[in-house]
Amino acid sequence: MSTVPQEISKETVFGWFQHAILDRQNDVLPFFREKGGWENCFKLWMSGQLRQLPGHPEVRCEQHIYGNAREAVDLLVETRTVPPQFICIELKAESFFHSAKQERVNAEHVFFQSFENDLRKLRRVQLQNALGLAVAICITGSAAGPLETRGYQSEVLSLNDRTNVTIFISDCDRIASDTGW
């Protein structure tokens, strides 16, 4: 039996992500600047962090929970409670080269569209007792701005190297563009 609470909230998960970023803060900016992006690195950091939680939940990456073989959730956390609770997490991590390749550096950033697409995808989770969350990690104001404008819950973390990282989180019940925000 796990000591993880039966009902894990969005705020609890948000805290886990904040802790993970602060724990690896010296790696954030160098990885952000790498070609190929750092979302997969961040996913692996998080899976390692999540496995260390009380009760040692099972954490799996790239799990097919949407009912088709082409789509997979980035992180699936399963508590060892009875019945188990599932936390389905879609990640977005802003990458300098990915943004430049898509000519987003000086244009209005459309990073938020990928975030909102993940929220829509989470509405199709085929698991009982599941919490679906999308988490976005932004380094630049051009990526963070549209998410802030749309009112997603966020927290700005100041890292040792004076880099500000903004973390956004939302559950799949609130998608700003679907409500006209």
Task: Delimit the domains of the chain by residue range.
Answer: 10-178
* pLDDT for position 177: 56
* pLDDT for position 117: 92
For 71-129, the pLDDT digits (tens) are: 999 999 999 888 888 999 999 999 887 655 555 554 456 788 899 999 999 999 888 88
Rounded Cα distance between 89 and 132, Å, is 6
- Is 176:136 a contact under the CB 8 Å cutoff? no
Beta bridge partners of 156: 166
State the pTM of this model.
0.86
Sign of the CA dihedral with 47 first, then 157, 170, and 115 last = negative
* pLDDT for position 180: 47
- pLDDT band (50, 70, 90) for residue 54: confident
* pLDDT for position 118: 94
The secondary structure of residue 105, as a DSSP letter, is: S
